[in-house]
Structure 1
Amino acid sequence: MLAIFLKTLPFFGVIALGYLAARRQFFNEAATAALTKFVFYFALSAMVFRFSANLNLADVLDWTFVFAYLAATMLVYILATGVGMWRGLPVAEVAVESQCAVIGNVGFLGLPMLALLMGEAAVGPVMMVLAVDILVFGSLIVILITGSRDGRISLRVLRTVGRGLVTNPMVMAIAAGFIWSGLHIPIPDPMNEFLAILGGAATPGALFAIGASLANKSAERMSVAGWLSVCKLILHPLAVAVAVLFVFPVEAFAGAVMIAAASLPVAGNTYIIAQHYGTAPARVSATILVSTAFSILTVSLVIGQFGP
């Protein structure tokens, strides 16, 4: 446990550095937005493309893995939905809270951190988790929020979801990488070096951007933030662990990566969605802040317990 904690500490150290820089106004909101855009559209996309172009989709795409993650995640999602409905929240707010309960920071934190901590063999399983999060739950929250306001699921809603997926650079990078791999075209050395240099900026850039964005998060609705953080940091990895260890015959290493990915704190893009639709952004903000702070310990505990 201590060894894993010491390995994860530098990652959270870079997050803390970004947080302090933003709190001291050395790194303002405009700079944070620009860095986030660079990481999201360029550095992480280069990293994801380079990884996926060197993978075989047939080897990575494991439907048992996908169903195990989807079933466990949906279980926690339904629990959070039930609690939200019991509290009398409108559908849109329930959708946002349920998203917080299960969608972790897999792209910005999980992909670079787990690739370094668990080896490049972890990249395939992490990308499968990321794909399910984006394609299933990223679409679901938009459908629920928009559908609840319109009173029905219209073609316009589906077009919005489709456009969001097509313009998501992570989805496009994964798809382009697997297409490249499927064509069995070797990556030329200059291109590989270019992607390596650009992708190398993803880890420090993403971690620093996470920290800087946290400096602008509020700490309102702490009781709700605490409950949703428990869902994300404890119940979600626990449900995934039960699924891969006792229900679905998932390969041991892939299962360990899935559990580790499930232990990550709430994703920042949930706040972006909540803010865009004007649905409980302060609640999401507080949950991201709380879950990220406590994940310093919980991620180490989960990886130490279930990791290879």
Structure 2
Amino acid sequence: MSALIDVILPVFLVIGFGYLVAWKGLFSAPAVEGLMRFAQNFAVPVLLARSIAKLDLSASYDPGPMLSFYAGALACFAIGSLAARIWLKRTGPDAVAIGFAAMFSNSLLLGVPITERAYGPDALAGNFAIISFHSPFFYTVGIVAMEWVRSHGTGAGLSRVGLNALVGILRTPLVIGILCGFALQAFSALTGQAVPGPLMAAMDMIAQAALPAALFGLGGVLLRYRPEGDGRAIAMVTALSLIVHPGIAYSLAHFVFHTPVAGLRSAVLTAAMAPGVNAYLFANLYGTAQRVAASSVLIATGLSILSIWVWLAILP
């Protein structure tokens, strides 16, 4: 019970506060939009750039947690897409969007604050190592699959699909922030000097606002996502996100790779998060399965209060 109160509840209280003030009309929809634009397009990318710039790359990129997390994510994408296409009889683009929602965990806005509250700031190196590939890799998988499905029968070649995917990935603010972080790492490695103090101090100031602003704004965003219809698809995405993905990550990290405790925690908790808002943004970008993605974000985020508690109890 103490884990629920001390670790999980504060994070969801911030989300709930954002939901409440938006519901009561004290924080308008344009204000929520502006706050989330600030958080997702600027503050969170700066947080990622700063965190990656400070990572000890040789120590943080342990293949065990990385492979465990991403194997689970790809499995959920495959299961979600195939089940949506074969079992639920959805169209190809719908199936890809549903699989993307099952794969894209909210590793940053939920995974980072919960891991930090549970195990302290020093436990986040593994999280940020996973996150540094999270958006580029998942968007690559999602965009390539979607472009391939959409171009099927039109004669568009792989080069066209690849170009569309590359353009879409490089325009993503989170990916830009990640690339900037690696650029700062390269600057330090080539010059032998640390990132200039004033620049890092400015990045620290913006980064400190990122998670509180994003969590508060997420509450306002969730107000829009009314769970309507598509119950089987939403239940499937929720189960894959909250149970199957972390279950695969735990099994591989613990029993196959014998990952140290810190890496095990990062892999499992990052995998255990509900689908992120990017799942809806991806579906909205292609105009397909928006209701499933939006409702899955809302319902899985609410249910994750209990599922994260269970995973915290399981983890050493």
When the two structures are superposed, what TM-score results if normalisation uses the length of structure 1? Answer: 0.92
CA RMSD of aligned residues (A): 2.0
Q: Is residue 274–residue 301 contact of structure 2 (8 Å, CA) maintained in 1?
A: yes
Q: Which residue of 2 aligns with 1:121?
A: 122
Match of 1:163 in 2: 167
What amino acid is aligned across from residue 65 of structure 2 in structure 1?
Answer: F
Mapped to 1, the partners of 2:76 and 2:219 lie a distance apart of 27
Q: Pick the aligned partner of 1:291 from 300, 303, 308.
A: 300
Give yes or no for the alignment of 1:239 onto 2:239. no
Alignment of 1:224 with 2:233, yes or no, is yes
The C-alpha deviation readout for 1:224-246, integer Å capped at 9, x for no partner, is 21221111111111111111011
Deviation at 1:200, TM superposition (A): 0.9
Say if 1:66 and 1:266 are closer, same or farther in 2 by CA, change over 3 A. Answer: same
Match runs of 1:1-308 below 5 Å = 1-87=1-87, 88-151=89-152, 152-182=156-186, 183=188, 184-220=192-228, 221-306=230-315, 308=316
In the alignment, is the contact (CA less than 8 A) between 1:81 and 1:97 conserved in 2? yes
In 1: Cα distance, 2:159 partner to 2:34 partner: 33
TM-score, with length taken from structure 2: 0.89
Task: Label 1:117 to 1:153 Cα distance change in 2 as closer, same or farther (>3 A).
Answer: farther
What secondary structure does 2:160 align onto? helix
> How much has 1:299 moved relative to structure 2?
1.4
Query: 1:51-107: CA deviations, max 9, x gaps?
Result: 222112222223333222222222232222332232222221111111122211112
Offset of residue 153 of structure 1? 4.8
Contact 1:99 1:270 survives alignment (8 Å): yes
Query: CA offsets per residue over residues 16-46 of structure 1, 9 Å max, x none?
Result: 0111122222222221221111112222122
CA drift of 1:273 comes to 1.3
Report which stretch shifted further, 90-99 or 3-12. Answer: 3-12
Take 1:155 and 1:30, find their aligned partners in 2: how far apart are those partners?
39
CA distance in 1, matches of 2:105, 2:4: 20
Gaps of 5+ in 1: none
Tell me the amino acid that sits aligned with residue 233 of structure 1: L
CA distance in 2 between counterparts of 1:280 and 1:253 reads: 36
Residues 72 and 156 of structure 1, relative CA distance in 2, 3 Å threshold: same
Cα deviation digits, residues 187-226 of structure 1 (max 9, x gap): 3433333222211111210101111100011211233212
Matched residue of 1:201: which SS? helix
3-state SS in 2 of match to 1:217: coil
Q: Structure 1 residue runs of 4+, over 6 Å off?
A: none
Q: Which amino acid aligns with 1:211?
A: G
Count of aligned pairs between the two proteins: 307
Q: Is the 8 A contact 1:11 1:113 kept in 2?
A: yes
The percent of aligned pairs where both chains have the same amino acid is 23
SS at match of 1:199: helix
